[in-house]
Amino acid sequence: MTQRIHGVLSPVVTPFKSDLSPDKERFIAHCKWLLSQDCGLAVFGTNSEANSLAAEERTMLLDALVAAGVDASRMMPGTGCCSLTETVKLTSQAVKHGCAGVLMLPPFYYKGVSEEGLYRHFSEVVQRVGDSRLKIYLYHIPPVAVVGITPGLVERLLKAYPQQIAGMKDSSGDWNNTKTFLDAFAKQGFDIFPGSESFLLAGLQNGGAGCISATANVNPAAIAKLCVEWKNADAAEQQKKLDITRDAFGKKYLMIGALKQGIAIYANDPAWAKVRPPLVELTAEQAKSLETELKAIGFTMPGINKGAAVAA
Amino acid sequence: MTQRIHGVLSPVVTPFKSDLSPDKERFIAHCKWLLSQDCGLAVFGTNSEANSLAAEERTMLLDALVAAGVDASRMMPGTGCCSLTETVKLTSQAVKHGCAGVLMLPPFYYKGVSEEGLYRHFSEVVQRVGDSRLKIYLYHIPPVAVVGITPGLVERLLKAYPQQIAGMKDSSGDWNNTKTFLDAFAKQGFDIFPGSESFLLAGLQNGGAGCISATANVNPAAIAKLCVEWKNADAAEQQKKLDITRDAFGKKYLMIGALKQGIAIYANDPAWAKVRPPLVELTAEQAKSLETELKAIGFTMPGINKGAAVAA
């Protein structure tokens, strides 16, 4: 069995140009910076505004990353769409590029769908992709997708496709839920990534595989550090510091807008603040208040690509 | 001003082949039958499993309908996707084909988005399509999309784009909500279609434009009749009969599966029963029970295309 991807991954925020098209150059530069901070690339996640991108925009961006020499074995692109056909297409592309895995939302338009229906969907995807390299990480994010991943579904899928069903991301924000999955499946080699670094230490102590977290876009090195040093004496102290930084971004603002504003500030690159509708960027007042708060907690982004360098 | 589309429209169910690809021939045949029953074509709605189709599958099916001579002025295709780019692409195609309008979901992945964000989304769509023929019908279906259309949003959009914002479909299932929109906007020529024929009579009595209803896939003529005869003495009686048929399909079963099963029965064409995951077709027992119930209420589908004829 090949080595599975573990550790900290960032749902990479997607920069947009003034015409709202994806900004390939800034995206590649940000991905390279994240890798330099020991952070893997869960491109096309919720925080990436991936569902505000057309399937072909995701395809273009993934091709561009690979063409730019970004290591596919450090990537777990989001490929779960509402339609089976698009999910299969994006997943196949990721597998062909040699990505470590794919992070797969359930089809999320129809609500209250049965476990049988979801099983059929994922089963069809595995069979249609038809590649032994495929590693699926199921994406549970009920506050957004509403449609979720249940233990019963994981059990059925693991039984049918033990090689392809590699793990999950749990963005329920509910530690009890994460713990339930860890207790039930971690020992079988099913890799569980909490969807926030708030649960990084607790997750690792209970057999978790790392975390895939929004804030890893701006604070990757510190999160990756705890992921390595979680047995150290100061682990709880490290966790506490991570939580303070996370709160600075996510407690008062829409997380996606705040992350982009944070990059805009620390990269001295206002273009980064742009989001696609239906999201709205931080107001000038919020941006100012975020900056003040980040400075107050001594937040830094060492080595972040400066706007001018990217634009040049 | 050109004549706006009014009356009864069907969110046309999409037939699938055994490999789950869209069945173009059966789709065209069903659309032609619906037109013959005085029913317009809201193809690519919720009941069409449109969000289980890739954007390019919708494009292919719309092109095929037009190529088959189906009148675009009787069509209101669903074009609202999570991404601005796909929404613009599908909408532009519909406008170029001369469709009467488009039924547009709000971007539905991100929840709790602001009215400002939704305004920006629809505003971008209008500007990017940039065609004076564009007529948008906003699609409010909170039980499924979760993200909804508010009176405040309609007011802002109508003010900015009085020619392009033509109306809405209200699938809230809440008459009070429909009434609120009718009272606020119907007199300005904003056409409101309840999302169920259960509210057809009440809607018409309060300035509604007709209805766009799942059951119009199987019971189009009777619904269209009430839409014409709503001032007749027997209107309430007609409404009652429509409700009985609707209940037979939608009360005990998942509506989409039941509609397709109904067509399979009356067209003597079992292939029609197929749905795409994450939906699941009716069980054999449910199918039998549906058939019994439909016969008990004397339900018929006059002139429905028989399976053999389509396959030939």
**Average pLDDT over chain A, rounded to an integer:** 96
Nearest CA in chain A to B87: A54
Instruction: Please tell me which of the candidates B54, B124, B278 has its beta carbon nearest to residue A86.
Output: B54
Would the pLDDT of B9 be above 90?
A: yes
Instruction: Please tell me which of the candidates B110, B120, B278 has its beta carbon nearest to residue A144.
Output: B110
- The b/e string for A106-138 (b: 16+ C-beta within 10 A; e otherwise) is bbbbbeebeeebbbbbbbbbbebbeeeebbbbb
A118 with B277: Cβ contact below 8 A:
yes
* pLDDT of B309: 54
Instruction: Please tell me which of the candidates B53, B57, B106 has its beta carbon nearest to residue A278.
Output: B106
What are the CA-CA distances from residue B78 to residues A4, B37, B69, B87, B131 (Å)? Answer: 41, 21, 19, 9, 17
B118 in contact with chain A, both atoms CB, cutoff 8 A: yes
Sign of the four-CA dihedral B60, B64, B67, B73:
negative
Q: What element of type H or E holds A10?
A: strand A7-10
Closest CA to A129 of A94, A155, A159: A94
Q: Which residues 45-74 on chain B approach chain A with CB closer than 8 angstroms?
A: 46, 51-55, 57
* pLDDT of B307: 67
**Cα end-to-end span (Å), chain A:** 43
**% pLDDT > 90, chain B:** 96
Question: A7-235, which class in CATH?
Answer: alpha beta
Which long-range CB contacts under 8 A does A151-154 form with residues at least 24 apart? A151/A180, A151/A181, A151/A184, A151/A185, A152/A115, A153/A115, A153/A118, A153/A119, A153/A122, A154/A181, A154/A184, A154/A185, A154/A190
Cα A253 from Cα A259, distance rounded (Å): 9
Provide the whole-model pTM.
0.97
Asked if residue A217 lies in contact with residue A27, where contact means CB atoms within 8 angstroms, the answer is no
Contact residues on chain A for B106, CB-CB shorter than 8 A:
278
Residues of chain A with pLDDT under 50: 1, 311-312
What is the DSSP secondary-structure string of A22-59?
Answer: B-HHHHHHHHHHHHHTT-EE--SSGGGTGGGS-HHHHH
Contact residues on chain A for B85, CB-CB shorter than 8 A:
53-54, 57
Sign of the four-CA dihedral B108, A127, B258, B273:
positive
The structure tokens listed for A247 are 């709160």
Closest CA to B245 of B228, B226, B271, B272: B226
A278 with B110: Cβ contact below 8 A:
yes
Closest CA to B149 of B127, B121, B125: B121
Cα B75 from Cα B39, distance rounded (Å): 10
Contact residues on chain B for A117, CB-CB shorter than 8 A:
277-280
In the predicted model, what is the mean pLDDT of residues B214-239? 98
Cα B140 from Cα B117, distance rounded (Å): 16
Cα B210 from Cα B205, distance rounded (Å): 10
Q: What is the pLDDT of residues B109-142, one digit of tens each?
A: 999 999 999 999 999 999 999 999 999 999 999 9
* pLDDT of A229: 98
In the predicted model, what is the mean pLDDT of residues B18-44? 98
* pLDDT of A88: 98
In the predicted model, what is the mean pLDDT of residues B278-286? 98
Question: B7-229, which class in CATH?
Answer: alpha beta
Cα A202 from Cα A277, distance rounded (Å): 35
What is the DSSP secondary-structure string of A112-167?
Answer: S--HHHHHHHHHHHHHHH--TT--EEEEE-HHHH-----HHHHHHHHHH-TTTEEE
A53 with B110: Cβ contact below 8 A:
no
Contact residues on chain B for A108, CB-CB shorter than 8 A:
109
Look up tokens 């060492």; give the residue: A302
Confidence of residue B3 (pLDDT cuts 50, 70, 90): confident
* pLDDT of A3: 82
Integer-rounded Cα radius of gyration of chain B: 18
Would the pLDDT of B295 be above 60?
A: yes
Cβ neighbour number for residue B67 with a 10 Å cutoff: 10
Cα B285 from Cα B156, distance rounded (Å): 49
* pLDDT of A1: 44
Q: Is A90 helix (H, G, I), strand (E, B) or coil?
A: helix
Q: What is the pLDDT of residues A76-133, one digit of tens each?
A: 999 999 999 999 999 999 999 999 999 999 999 999 999 999 999 999 999 999 999 9
Q: How many CA atoms lie within 13 A of B214 on its CB side?
A: 26
